[in-house]
Structure 1
Amino acid sequence: MDPTSTPVTLYNDNSTSNPTIFPRSGYNILAFVMFLNAVFSIFNNTLVILVTLKYPQLRNPMNIFILNMSFSDLMMTLCGTTVVVSTNYHGYFYLGENFCTFQGFAVNYFGIVSLWSLTVLAYERYNVVCQPIGALKLSTIRGYRGLAFIWLFCLIWAIAPLFGWSSYAPEGVQTSCSIGWEVRSWNNYSYSITLFITSFIIPVGIIGMSYGSIILSLYKLNRKIEEQGGKTNREEEIRVAVMVLLMVVAFLVCWLPYTIFAMIVVINPTLYISPLLATLPTYFAKTSPIYNPIIYIFLNKEFRNCAVMFLTCGHISLSTPEEETASVEIQIISKQNQVAPAE
């Protein structure tokens, strides 16, 4: 096989076709893994959306971005993961070229939207914690403007392949469609490099700066309190540090493999990458809708309590009466000052 050739596209209308790129058992394993992925992704993100819409205390400007992330993750699952369950079951992408283009566009678009939702969320949390005066600016209007920026900015990069800058095509073992990063051409290289900068380097830089500043600010605050003879909450500092670490690790697990493979193709166009190895980056990216709600939502004590109440129809509550009273007071103050809590 010529390593510089364009990957084979298996658009086959014969459902009895016998796949040759990957063993039949391998396709079955991928179908089962993606089925589990789809079930947990749909459940987690649907729960986040329903709980946020049901409980008013969760509907603040900061959570607009979390709700947006859950919606984009849900759409990425419905348009991407559920499709590859079926295509892996058949052993090839049997849905045709047009649907392949649609799936590639949808997964790319909603994936970038989810990524930038996390980025803007990190930046706004930085404003709330490290720039108290700036927190007053985090109004609902500003939140909606942030959403408009995210969707329009990401749309530019998602539709570019539809107009000839790169393309959408089957990849790896030919059961899923994405950006044609395996195609060896300068047209594709330029798109991959630009997308690498706008959808990896910049988001990673913003997320790292934002959460790093939050941890540093919390550390300095605790040191100042200790110097004045006060008692600090080291457990809270550790909790924030662990959450930040999980966020960064999850982000890298999701997007780093895809980025590495795309850049390898750019740096060394003659390198041969096996179909199975080429499949891994896309499947890593498809896991993000599972752990995003867990890290960004379920580790939030207020949301966790609301989720338990929602699932048990209000019969079980994790918060104490004192916490519920304090929560109501915080909501009143927050509405009066238009300041959203940091989490």
Structure 2
Amino acid sequence: GSSGLSSASNFSDDVPYGGKSAFTQLEHNIVAGYLITAGVISLASNIVVLLMFVKFKELRTATNAIIINLAFTDIGVAGIGYPMSAASDLHGSWKFGYTGCQIYAALNIFFGMASIGLLTVVAIDRYLTICRPDIGQKMTVRSYTLLIVAAWLNAVFWSSMPIVGWAGYAPDPTGATCTINWRQNDASFISYTMAVIAVNFVMPLSVMFYCYYNVSVTMKRYKASNCLDSINLDWSDQIDVTKMSVVMIIMFLVAWSPYSMVCLWASFGDPKKIPAPMAIIAPLFAKSSTFYNPCIYVVANKKFRRAIMGMIRCQTRQRITINNQVPMTTSQLPLTQ
């Protein structure tokens, strides 16, 4: 597909579309196998999570509204990104031309940034619910909606910038996937990378760290003073939700750190010296976040576990198993239209 090359003058020193890749076909096939497996697991597990929210009305809380949105980011990557990448890997090089490359890369960055934003919203929710119930109880469906919309809009902004010319998208050295063009490390790329790392990595992590640090301090204090009965929280449920959120963030860090390192290396070092395995593993690692979130929900959250078991056993009397007889704060109350 050289048709798009004329419109992309800056691709001279890159892997051309459909050009030779830095990897053997066997390596490409292994990656394709991984992507197909991961894609199937991701789609299946995230769809189960969504069905769970459809079936159990009492799971439709404000906190969980954020998790529903996270499931959509995972479905986006697994449903669009994985198949295009796997097809290109089986083909041995990027298969979908210039336009396909732009769309694919933008969508991957879009869903990635959205998941970072949404994880930050989860942290803010935990902080307000547990540390600042005075504000937490004033939070309406509208305030949660605004936070969620803000996360999506932020993702729209950063993923569309390379299309309009701040940095750019191109096939990576594997030739079988498209991402931010980090081999062309000009001023445009460096400023974009720095801005993205500041706004979508350092800032969210600082907010999350602040929120969860305060949450853990508050929980310790309540445990020590033993006044858990006096506050109207279903406390074990709150602890559950919070543990789950912390695990999600740690895993998120594990997933996105290699990718950030590649971009930083390209910004401050010589992109040509980036080892090929790292170049291939970094984006794969970043994409892996799509299938571990559902696993975390199940492992770390009793309510979700019960709901999923209930779904698998096709229970009809689901209300009994999930509901708790304790008054709950706003963010834990089912949303009513």
Q: TM-score range by the shorter chain?
A: 0.7 to 0.9
Pair 1:174-2:186 in alignment = no
Work out whether residues 219 and 237 of structure 1, in 8 Å CA contact, stay in contact via their aligned partners in 2: no
Matches within 5 A, 1:96-245: 96-225=97-226, 243=244
Shift of 1:177: 0.7
When the two structures are superposed, what TM-score results if normalisation uses the length of structure 1? 0.84
Question: Could you tell me which amino acid in structure 2 is paired with residue 11 of structure 1?
Answer: Y
**Matches of 2:162 and 2:12, distance apart in 1:** 16
Question: Could you tell me which amino acid in structure 1 is paired with residue 14 of structure 2?
Answer: V
Corresponding residue SS for 2:184:
coil
Change (3 A) 1:64 1:245: closer
Q: Give unmatched runs, 5+ long, in structure 2.
A: 1-10, 228-234
| Equivalent residue, structure 1, for 2:5 | none
Question: Could you tell me which amino acid in structure 2 is paired with residue 58 of structure 1?
Answer: L
1:101-143: per-residue Cα shift (whole Å, max 9, x none)? Answer: 1000000001110111111111111100111111112321111
**Matches of 2:215 and 2:12, distance apart in 1:** 46
**Matches of 2:37 and 2:132, distance apart in 1:** 41
Question: Could you tell me which amino acid in structure 2 is paired with residue 149 of structure 1?
Answer: A
| Equivalent residue, structure 1, for 2:282 | 281
**Matches of 1:307 and 1:316, distance apart in 2:** 13
Shift of 1:296: 3.8
**Matches of 1:215 and 1:7, distance apart in 2:** 51
Match of residue 340, structure 1, among 327, 332, 336: 332
**Matches of 1:250 and 1:34, distance apart in 2:** 19
Corresponding residue SS for 2:273:
coil
Question: Could you tell me which amino acid in structure 1 is paired with residue 167 of structure 2?
Answer: S
How many residue pairs get aligned? The number is 320
| Equivalent residue, structure 1, for 2:259 | 258
Match of residue 9, structure 1, among 15, 37, 41: 15
Corresponding residue SS for 2:209:
helix
Work out whether residues 182 and 271 of structure 2, in 8 Å CA contact, stay in contact via their aligned partners in 1: no
Shift of 1:22: 0.6
Work out whether residues 162 and 169 of structure 2, in 8 Å CA contact, stay in contact via their aligned partners in 1: yes
Matches within 5 A, 1:51-130: 51-130=52-131
Change (3 A) 1:47 1:237: closer
Let me know the Cα RMSD of the aligned residues: 2.9
Shift of 1:38: 0.5
Change (3 A) 1:137 1:9: farther
Shift of 1:271: 5.3
Work out whether residues 171 and 275 of structure 1, in 8 Å CA contact, stay in contact via their aligned partners in 2: no
| Equivalent residue, structure 2, for 1:30 | 31
| Equivalent residue, structure 2, for 1:291 | 292
Q: Give unmatched runs, 5+ long, in structure 1.
A: 227-233
1:30-66: per-residue Cα shift (whole Å, max 9, x none)? Answer: 1111111101111111111111122111111111110
Corresponding residue SS for 1:119:
helix
Work out whether residues 93 and 175 of structure 1, in 8 Å CA contact, stay in contact via their aligned partners in 2: yes
Shift of 1:224: 1.6
